Amino acid sequence: MEPWDQRVARILVKPLVRSPVTPNQLTITTLLVALAGAAMLAQGSAYWANWGAGLFVFARFMDHADGELARQKDMKSKLGYYLDYVSGGLSYGALFICMGIGFRDSELGLWAIALGAAGTISALGSVFTNLGIDRAHEDIDTDEGEAVGYPGFAGFELEDGIYLLAPITWAGWLYPFFIAAGIGAAVYGLWALWELARLKRHH
């Protein structure tokens, strides 16, 4: 079943189809918005965390828009394919390290930065493992590959959990979310490695 956020993105980008905006421009803009949101989370205050979480979630939703725009404009490219992966990796990498910096004065102390760094390493590493999974699926054609599919159910994917960042932050539960997300990033990294190894065994 196609993810719900992708369906919504398909509708929202329709006004851009006849505009000069390109999918790659949208990808870069989305990355900049995500980095701005992550930087706000590094400030260590509830005020900036609330704004940063909302901005980051908005950016991650808009991450689906570039691909939809590329399809509707028939502007798929290998550059866009790789740029999308790099944008996602940098976005999540920045999120984890910035949350860690933001919680440096919590009970975790410097361990917060260490946990954030671990999440960042996992996020950046997943860029390469996911690209490897795509190649194993032989999804890269002469124009552009399709991004790896995430585990999902009823129109929701594993990565959609990031949308909870905003309401959780606004409710004052960012701290436990940070700890759980750091562990979750490591688990996802291990899943991606296992999936890549499994696919390679079958080729």
pLDDT of 103 higher than 70: yes
Alpha-carbon gap, residue 10 to 158, rounded angstroms: 20
Question: Is there a contact between 53 and 166 (Cβ–Cβ < 8 Å)?
Answer: yes
pLDDT tens profile 29-48: 999 999 999 999 999 999 99
| Residue 67, pLDDT score | 86
Gap between the terminal Cα atoms of the chain: 26
Q: What are phi and psi of 157, to 5 degrees?
A: -105, 165
Alpha-carbon gap, residue 90 to 31, rounded angstroms: 8
Alpha-carbon gap, residue 172 to 160, rounded angstroms: 20
Helix, strand or coil for residue 61? helix
Alpha-carbon gap, residue 55 to 38, rounded angstroms: 8
Q: How far is CA 148 from CA 32, 68, 81, 83, in A?
A: 23, 15, 11, 14
Written as one string, the DSSP assignment of 71-109 is: HHHT---HHHHHHHHHHHHHHHHHHHHHHHHHTTTSTTT
Q: Which residues contact 153 (CB under 8 A, 6 or more apart)?
A: none
Backbone dihedral region of 12: left (phi > 0), alpha (psi from -120 to 50 degrees) or beta? alpha
| Residue 104, pLDDT score | 94
Helix, strand or coil for residue 157? strand
Domains in the chain, please, with CATH? 4-201 (1.20.120.1760)
The residue type at 35: L
| Residue 198, pLDDT score | 81
pLDDT tens profile 46-100: 999 999 999 999 999 888 888 889 888 988 888 888 999 899 999 999 999 999 9
Structure-block tokens of residue 110: 């410097």
Calculate the dihedral angle through the C-alpha atoms of 20, 26, 29, 35, rounding to the nearest 10 degrees. 180
pTM: 0.83
Alpha-carbon gap, residue 140 to 58, rounded angstroms: 28
